[in-house]
Amino acid sequence: MRRVKPLPIIDDGEPQVALEHGVISLASPHPYQALGAPYGEVSPWALRRSVAQKLLAAQVALGEQRPGWRLHVLDALRPVPVQAFMVEWTDRQLARDEPRLDAAARAARVRQFWAMPSEDPTTPPPHSTGAAVDVTLIDAEDRELDMGSPFDEPTPRSYPDHFAAATDDAGQRAHGHRQLLFAVLRDAGFRRHPREWWHFSFGDQAWAADTHAPAARYGRAPTEVSAISMRLPR
């Protein structure tokens, strides 16, 4: 594949804030911490302040359309060592679940769904910038809605429009849920990963490329994190 020069990053220095369970739901336990990912003292629920505010705005829109429904955050900040851990973990899972794939085929599959754990400041993985969030929907009884495939499944079922042409009730329902999630986050300013129904970002290089911005707003995230009020925005 032809290498594409990454867009420049002009980090505006915006601080990170840590999400708290409340208006928005947070997965418990955190899925990667449960696997032993090396977070150290870093909160996996941190996001840049504007990203967190936009997430809250998306929650308002969701609540207006589906009273009682909430955004359910699966992952937010992911330090580079965690990114490396999850890339290796996914490769091992593929080797176990799809033994017909050789090492090269597994690596190609992993790259479809995971950014490489780059230490290069010009190519930070999206989740290490504090700009990306993985999110799904829960209903008024705190039940996760059927999205057609599990979070992080490295197969074409995870492509956002995989069920767009479905004729069965389950497929149509999953596509409807994906479209609702997409709509409320898009209208709040996010852009969606082309191969992951759950991944949205604002301000990173992928967002900049999709919006034709001249540069990304966020590079590698700062380590300082403060709590954010979960009051609904006015």
Q: Which amino acid is at 94?
A: L
Active-site annotation holds for 224: no
Q: Which amino acid is at 72?
A: H
CA 206 to chain centre: 12
What is the distance between the alpha carbons of residues 130 and 133, in angstroms, rounded to a whole number?
A: 8
Catalytic residue among 14, 119, 196, 224: 196
Residue where the block lists tokens 């429904």: 69
Structure tokens at 192: 């969606």
- Helix axis angle for 169-187 and 49-65, nearest 10°, is 130
Residue where the block lists tokens 């057609």: 148
Contacts with 115 (C-beta within 8 Å, 6 or more apart), sequence order: 83, 125, 126, 127
Catalytic residues: 196
